[in-house]
Chains A and B, each alone.
Chain A
Amino acid sequence: MSLKFTALVPGLPHLLHPIPGSPHVHLSATMQKLGDVIRDQGVQRILYYSSQWLSVLGTMVQAKERLSGTHVDPSWHHLGSFDYDMTVDLSLSRQIAQCATVAGYSTQLIDYEGFPVDTGTIVANSLINRDNVKVSMISSWLYANYNQIKDFATVIGAEIAKDPTPTAVIGISSLSGNYFPTDIDPREDRISASADDEWNRRIIALCEQGVLSEVDRLAGDYSKQCRVDIDFKVMAFLRGIGAAEGHKRSICHGYQPIHGTGAAILEFRP
């Protein structure tokens, strides 16, 4: 079994240089600790699936060997510029694209200088992957539904399992997505609505109890009520790939607000 570690993490840039006294400090530190756990488990490559990398004409898989540059989030540009430097596991990317294509999914390998890497992946990689192990990343195909993404991920999961390289899969998404529409003091950040907070806690509790089929069942309602990033399809991906298998309990390492949205760090037991 090559799937060593799986988690769901937030990917907003507030976590890279968190304002002291804000809840983002705890999230940022926890994600770094997660990176230590991954290293200790001997993970040699990380596969990212981010709700912020959207594709329209099928699925994209990153296939540029070196991704480096300076990133500015279009929305949160005042939070600064972030340098990134990642090495892509080309054989993994090609393997993923090939097996998806064979299974009938329209899939494209992306190998372009200057192709925009999404904020979520840059945030997660900066905090978790400080040893710079090789990475790969798959886009979120906008027009597939929850079950289609789950099925798609099952195909990828089967392929990864054939290869003994110890692998981590990290899904990047917010929970509730109702942000504050105006600027706020980060130290006074909170979940923007109590109904969102209740939903988030309910979903986290189900993950902790290992009742993940119930999470699948509620994903549609939850997304509609709380504007979860891309209808919580990042969870569908984690479910399909085998990261969040039924009845295995998950650990919630942190749950905090980011500009009113819900952000949780959930580790799944593969």
Chain B
Amino acid sequence: MPNLKHGQILGGWLAPHPPHLVYAENPTQNEPRSRGGWEVLRWGYDHCRTKLKEQRPDVILVHTPHWQTTVGHDVLAVPKLSGLSVDPIFPHLFRYRFDLQVDVELALGISAEARKLGLTSKPMTNPDFRVDYGTITSLHMMNPNWDIPIIALSSNNSPYFHDTKVAQDEMIKLGIATKNAVIQSGKRVVLAASNSLSHLHFSAEPNPELPEDMSREHVFSQSQYEWDVRVLNLMRSGDVHGLMSIMPQFIDEACAEVKAGGLTWMLSAMDFPKTPAQVHAYGNVIGTGNAVVEWDLTSHKKGITP
């Protein structure tokens, strides 16, 4: 039965995933306890929580760097997934019991559209699959009640296997495939690029006795900070073409985690919006640069439609 109502992308979020943010919040799902920390970034996510309550999207789509796939761009396509996700780098901070619902219909649509555009893509249908901590952290910070179905997209290895240019081109195609599938689905969708900005980090926790010791948290270097601010200013001014043109240099010089492709995917799916983005927060986690940034496509027009 053809879908007569066109779907919409309501907006997109840069949604960084340091597990420290979940740890600092002490949600019931996460086992370790903390005294707090990284409040400014967490307050930034409050804006997202409020917005999602207002918008009530049908699905949240997230692109994650911590589900890496050797072959292709895979899409989570199992109706329900639950289990314990333990961060392999910070297991003392993140041991999270997840229980989530996936919009399989749209997931299959995205994968099919990606293949139509010449990309390799498989639906991930293994019910024993363990969801990565990037997906879980970003989605928890956006919607801790998990009452909106989700879809996660893997990071293909192409930025590391080929080069940034080839990889970015693939992500632009994946964005178009995502947009096409959303439009056909008739659903209202919010996107999330699960990425930090500058990604150089300390080689050891500054205070292993108290990971949330904010007196020891700071940006890794002044040049990393300046890169982050330059990129954020391009976002704030709506200069999406400026942002895209400096992306390769940003990736190289700031070891930016956007290398994995999530931001390019999201901007492409949103037709590279000239809408000024709103930076809700910027902060450092173990030296990396992280920002919660919103592109609200409903503020100027009614989302992306055909």
Contact = CB atoms under 8 A, between A and B. Distances in A.
A57 interface: yes
Interface stretch (A177-185, A204-212, A218-226): A177-185
B89 A115 contact: no
Contacts of A78: 122, 125-126
A195 interface: no
B91 A75 contact: no
Contacts of B122: 78
A115 B86 contact: yes
Contact of B67 (A55, A71, A74, A80): A74
A72 B126 contact: yes
A112 B88 contact: no
A77 interface: yes
A72 B89 contact: no
Contact of B130 (A57, A116, A182): A116
B71 A75 contact: yes
A114 B85 contact: yes
A15 to B, nearest CB: 15
A64 to B, nearest CB: 10
B128 interface: yes
B129 interface: yes
A28 B224 CA distance: 47
A75 B70 contact: yes
Interface string A99-128: 000000010001011111000000000000
A238 B124 CA distance: 36
Interface string B103-134: 00000000000000000101011101110100
B129 A183 contact: no
A259 interface: yes
A81 interface: yes
B161 A181 contact: yes
Interface string A69-98: 011101111101100000000000000000
Nearest to B122: A78
B152 to A, nearest CB: 11
Main SS at interface, chain B: loop
Contacts of B125: 77-78
Contacts of B86: 112-116
B265 to A, nearest CB: 18
Contact of A113 (B74, B84, B158): B84
A227 B162 CA distance: 12
B67 A58 contact: no
Contacts of A74: 67-69, 129-130, 132, 154
Nearest to B88: A116
A81 B126 contact: yes
Contacts of A143: 203
Interface in B38-91: 67-72, 74, 83-86, 88-89, 91
A115 B74 contact: no
Contacts of A113: 84, 86, 95
Q: Which 7 A-B pairs have the closest CB atoms?
A: A114-B84, A81-B128, A75-B70, A114-B86, A77-B126, A112-B91, A75-B69
Interface of B: 67-72, 74, 83-86, 88-89, 91-92, 95, 120, 122, 124-126, 128-130, 132, 154, 157-158, 161, 201, 203-205
